[in-house]
Structure 1
Amino acid sequence: MFAVPGWSLSPALLKKQADAEVTGDGASKKRKRKQVDSAEVSTRDIGDLYKQHVEKSVPKKEKAIEHSPKGNDESHTGKESKKVDGETARKVKKAADELPPVPPPAAAKLTPMQTAMRQKLIGARFRHLNQTLYTSPSAEASTLFDQNPAFFDEYHAGFRSQVESWPENPVDSFVREIQERAKVKVPYVKDKKNGGKKAVADPDTGLLPLPMTNGQCKVADLGCGDAALASKVSKLRLNVQVLSYDLAKPNKFVTKADIANLPLEDDSVNVTIFCLALMGTNWIDFIEEAWRVLHWKGELWIAEIKSRFGRVQNRRVEHSIGFKQKKRPSKQDLQRQKAQIDQIEEQELIHKVDEVPMNSEGTDVSAFVEVLRKRGFALQDETSVDLSNKMFVKMKFVKALPPLKGKMFKQDEPQRGGPMKKKNFIEKEKEEVDEPSVLKPCLYKIR
């Protein structure tokens, strides 16, 4: 200390500054600011942060989810759940991380530019999720939705916004058919070939009655989404029961299940429906499972995008007389032709999201029909393939054949029509076709 004339302070009055109180474990009791680890912030909570810091609103606390007892769980997977292996977990994490960021909640007033940018971000996330579902097996998609439940609602919200721009929703056409055929009185005639009686089409409307068991038609909507079919049919008061299955349970109509492994008994339903639902790389497993749960002579209804099927090739017939070999195209001609084909296919594959009109001429479903024939399905009649819609193909099959391959094929079961003939070299070549590639996935151009 130093002395100042007229000012003095006794050293006895000075007190030593007290140190911070330390607890027994050595930790200080000083109040510290709550620190937020930036690594914990992800695309999933951007919406909450936007509300909290920009809109100055307090986010609501989520209620704790009560898990139902094991015996009372309404969700089914057909088999006991298996542990996710490391490879599947890695693929699921990669798919979730590659998603574009979650768009912030819409404010009360947005400029036209802000609205357009927000819609583009929503569309980008929908396209990415859609492509992931098309290029992954159903088991990986199930794990993705289990670990990220919001993805299922987000995908179907984007899907519903796209449906609004379609000239017709295939679900509505299926609802109309169920309503019309459920009212058809069942006329029977003698079946001279197999004996007994069989149902025939109504002479006035030309419609066949719905297949029924004990006076009721049981329909399985596989890959139902938000169960629009079950919701609409339930309001019609028909003797029709719709069972809806998908990878998540958004409402009371849906049972959670992988449609490659349904919680249904063999020969238990009358109609199975795939409405834009053959999305996984294992879509053939879905077809085989539909054959398993259908009654004999049960019906399979399918609606799919035309661009997923092949195109009719214009083949030139080469006759032995007067045949003259054409000049081979140059490398530049081949590259130009390939670029034109790629452009056409790209426009067809993205029309579902970007509302690009598609040229529906030349859609070839023969390879797809052949895959289903080998799984025990035959086309119902000559009008079973409907190509009238410019966006979709609708087909009807009947479970009327024994499977020739797949999980339902039985080696020891006698085949109808006598012993099988020895396959020639042409049939052997046909078997080498990569069957899953018969349906093309929807792939989108990175923007």
Structure 2
Amino acid sequence: VEEEEASPPEEEQSSLDSFRSRMEQRLEAARFRYINERLYSTTSGEAKRMFQQDPRAFWVYHKGYTAQVQRWPANPVDAIIAYIKKKPVSLVVADFGCGDGKIARSVKNKVHSFDLAATSELVTVCDMANVPLADGSVDIAVFCLSLMGTNLVDFLTEACRVLKTGGVLKIAEVASRFDNVRDFTSTLTRLGFKLTSKDTENSHFYSFEFVKTENAPKNRKKLELQLKPCVYKRR
């Protein structure tokens, strides 16, 4: 009669489970950092293809990003939500790089939520440089921690296209990504926007508000816009 293989003692099993869990967390964290690096070093079209080919990659990124957000003293999306809530509910909003669609879930306005992959039915999957909206159909365009990739001028040109003249562009980004704020705002001016307010005193995030004054120029080859990647350290 074969003897049944003895199970490891309960304490030993618990230790093994704990070790396995730690290893899985480390692997997931490493994958998050790799995906994050890719998003900053490729075009939005390439990033969209990456998530189409590997849908789980977006969930790994989203989970890792959410964990990072929870460590921050504040989330700039909350300030943008508060801003929209003070405006008429008739205003239409476009949220470029919406993540989990928090803005759409928090306000009564019509919100078009766009991202490279969908975390809910509220999100329309698309390239931020080519969103399915008509020209001049939006009152407020938002980029909250979503200016990632090597074709930022394309994103902002698309925001200009869908905004009505006089429409508002709200941008919030990690402060450490900016080498020269003046260069950043100058490029936006050349894309058809006028800076109306900015907050660069916050140690974590910079925020900007622009108004669309004209359509973006057809020839944008000479326009460059780069922000430093946001690199998350190993923990």
Q: TM-score, structure 1 length as denominator?
A: 0.47
TM-superposed CA distance for 1:443, in Å, is 4.8
SS class of match (2:95): strand
Q: How does 1:114-193 map to 2 (within 5 A)?
A: 115-182=21-88
Asked if 1:225 corresponds to 2:99, the answer is yes
Deviation, 1:388, is 3.2
Question: How many angstroms apart in 2 are the aligned matches of 1:403 and 1:256?
Answer: 24
Match in the other structure for 2:159? 290
In structure 2, what residue type is equivalent to 1:387? T
Partner of 1:372: 188
Equivalent in 435, 439, 442 of residue 224 of structure 2: 435
Query: Match of 2:8?
Result: none
Deviation at 1:390, TM superposition (A): 1.5
Q: CA deviation at 1:181?
A: 3.3
Deviation, 1:299, is 0.3
Pick the aligned partner of 2:128 from 259, 270, 292. Answer: 259
Cα distance in 1 for residues equivalent to 2:225 and 2:37: 16
Q: Within 1, Cα distance between the matches of 2:144 and 2:204?
A: 13
SS at match of 1:393: strand
- Contact 1:378/1:401 (8 A) holds in 2: no
Query: How much has 1:306 moved relative to structure 2?
Result: 1.1
Q: 1:445 to 1:231 in 2, by over 3 A?
A: closer
More helix by share: 2
Are 1:375 and 1:406, in contact at CA under 8 Å, matched by a contact in 2?
A: no
Counterpart residue type for residue 393 of structure 1: Y
CA 1:443–1:157 in 2, change beyond 3 Å: closer, same or farther?
A: closer
1:394 aligns with 2:207: yes
Amino acid at match of 2:54: N
Unmatched tracts of structure 1, length 5 or more? 1-106, 183-214, 311-363, 410-430
Alpha-carbon contact 2:160-2:215 (below 8 Å) kept? no
Q: Is the 8 A contact 1:373 1:401 kept in 2?
A: no
Equivalent runs, 1:48-447 vs 2, <5 Å: 115-182=21-88, 216-233=90-107, 238=108, 240-310=109-179, 364-380=180-196, 384-404=197-217, 406=219, 435-437=224-226, 439-443=227-231
Deviation at 1:161, TM superposition (A): 0.9
Distance 1:274 1:296, change over 3 A: same
Q: Which whole-Å CA distance do the structure 2 matches of 1:131 and 1:446 have between them? A: 13
SS in 2 for 1:436: coil
Cα deviation, 1:240-287, whole Å, max 9, x if unaligned, reads: 111101111221100111110111110001000001111010111000
Retained in 1: the 8 A contact 2:92–2:110? yes
Distance 2:131 2:149 in 1: 15
Shift of the alpha carbon at 1:404?
Answer: 4.6
Instruction: Give the secondary structure class of the aligned counterpart of 2:42.
Output: coil
CA distance in 1, matches of 2:219, 2:203: 32
Count residues in correspondence. 223
Higher relative contact order (CA 8 A, sep 6+): 2
Structure 2 gaps, min length 5:
1-12
Task: State the alpha-carbon separation in 1 of the partners of residues 202 and 234 from structure 2.
Answer: 28
Determine which structure has more spread, i.e. the larger CA radius of gyration.
1
Q: For the Cα contact (< 8 Å) 2:116–2:127, is it kept in 1?
A: yes
Letter in 2 for 1:377: F
In 2: Cα distance, 1:150 partner to 1:297 partner: 40
Aligned letter for 1:247? L
Question: What SS does the corresponding residue of 1:286 show, helix, strand or coil?
Answer: helix
CA distance in 1, matches of 2:95, 2:202: 21
Letter in 1 for 2:87: R
Once residues 385 and 442 of structure 1 are traced to their aligned partners in structure 2, the CA distance between those partners, rounded to angstroms, is 20
Inter-partner Cα distance in structure 2 for 1:309 and 1:368: 8
TM normalised by structure 2 equals 0.86
Deviation digits for residues 271-313 of structure 1, max 9, x if unmatched?
0000111101011100000000000100000011111111xxx
Two-structure CA RMSD over aligned residues (Å): 2.5
Instruction: Flag the 1:109–1:378 CA change in 2: closer, same or farther, 3 A.
Output: farther
- Which of the two has greater strand per residue? 2
Deviation of 1:401 after TM superposition, in Å, equals 3.6
Distance 1:110 1:390, change over 3 A: farther
Aligned residue type for 1:435: E
The offset of 1:173, in angstroms, is 1.1
Task: Provide closer, same or farther for how the CA distance between residues 379 and 143 of structure 1 changes in structure 2, counting only shifts above 3 A.
Answer: same
Contact 1:376 1:402 in 2 (8 A): yes
User: d(CA) in 2 for partners of 1:264 and 1:160?
Assistant: 28
Percent identity, please.
44
